[in-house]
Structure 1
């Protein structure tokens, strides 16, 4: 019995390792993902277009523009698609507000029936919402460093950028130049883009690593986005 208790105590005394140490992400700040190797990532959420409803000429123009976009890139990008169950709570809240403002009793009843219909439709049909992202990277250039200069960052290479504000700001400016190039190219295809903030990046990472409990990311309406600003 004593042996079993001792083994139990020893096993219970072992520190539990955090899952964060297995992630490649060092931190997220100022709308930028800092990787453990010191490289940076920015994430754009991109609107979609209904390709099948366009004419043959419009489809060919889109394909040509997309081909030109890929050929003009001098750095790699990652295109991410996430499917989440459609969240229409905000839409239903607006309908309820409209219902309360209705002075016509018949219109109020019809609005209530419509709210109930939409709620049941989403509940039983499991309508999915697809969100498209473009991830823009910037290498830290750590591979170009000499052996001796890289020793100081051996155990925590992320400090190469994140630990020095000036270097981080300079690298972030270079990253955002790439983001601007990608946004303009996608805009030429009629697609709207929005750069994710720190809070939105945290939600994206949480949803990506917690698929069973993931919820749609709360971002501003991309259809209201003005690229000219």
Structure 2
């Protein structure tokens, strides 16, 4: 099938980002909440149960969809190992030089067998405004449907007011998510 190649801009669904709100081409709004992690396995069984039930209650309290994203990436420790090597060469005590060298080798072999991962957690909160069809959609194509500057100004003001209300509703959702995550004991911003 030979067709015209797709324009890269057509593939991007992002229209703009304003005041921490992502506006998609279809009019959908998104905000991303960054969430701090917690080492769940270091918690006592009672604390784990409390967090699990709090998380369950948080999810059940949401009356809208939310997307949870976990981003993991391997940490490169080469700079850290280089700084240890530099510190070792500058160290005057033979004992400390030896200890730094052993520590550096331990880190190098540990990372070789067990990659160190950095994890970032995000919650994407969406809002889809209700689409209200405009009454003049058909008449604007007719030759007698002349443009009315006053009506155009009024329509622009109505769109602005509607966008402000939509962002306000999205902000309420984000506040609900942040408060729910804080109730679990997680940092969210």
Matching residue of 1:211: none
Matching residue of 2:58: 69
How many residues are paired up? Answer: 168
Give the 3-state SS of the residue equivalent to 2:50 in structure 1.
helix
1:103 Cα deviation from its structure 2 partner: 6.8
Structure 2 distance, partners of 1:117, 1:166, is 61
Q: CA 1:103–1:75 in 2, change beyond 3 Å: closer, same or farther?
A: same
Structure 2 distance, partners of 1:53, 1:138, is 36
Larger Rg: 2
Structure 1 distance, partners of 2:179, 2:42, is 24
Matching residue of 1:19: 8
1:72 Cα deviation from its structure 2 partner: 1.7
Matching residue of 2:128: 139
1:184 Cα deviation from its structure 2 partner: 1.3
**Residue 52 (structure 1) aligned to one of 25, 30, 41:** 41
Structure 1 distance, partners of 2:109, 2:163, is 49
Q: What is the TM-score of this pair, normalised by structure 2?
A: 0.66
1:185 Cα deviation from its structure 2 partner: 1.0
Q: CA 1:148–1:50 in 2, change beyond 3 Å: closer, same or farther?
A: same
Structure 1 distance, partners of 2:7, 2:135, is 31
**Residue 20 (structure 2) aligned to one of 6, 21, 31:** 31
Matching residue of 1:186: 181
Matching residue of 1:84: 73
1:177 Cα deviation from its structure 2 partner: 2.1
- Which consecutive residues of structure 1, in runs of 5 or more, have no partner in the other structure? 1-10, 152-159, 195-229
Q: CA 1:139–1:126 in 2, change beyond 3 Å: closer, same or farther?
A: same
Q: CA 1:33–1:103 in 2, change beyond 3 Å: closer, same or farther?
A: same
Structure 2 distance, partners of 1:111, 1:170, is 59
Structure 1 distance, partners of 2:32, 2:7, is 25
Structure 1 distance, partners of 2:161, 2:112, is 50
| 8 Å contact from structure 1 (residues 99, 112) kept in 2 | no
Runs of at least 4 residues of structure 1 off by over 4 A? Answer: 87-90, 164-170
Q: What root-mean-square deviation, in Å, do the aligned CA atoms of Structure 1 and Structure 2 show? A: 3.8
1:80 Cα deviation from its structure 2 partner: 1.5
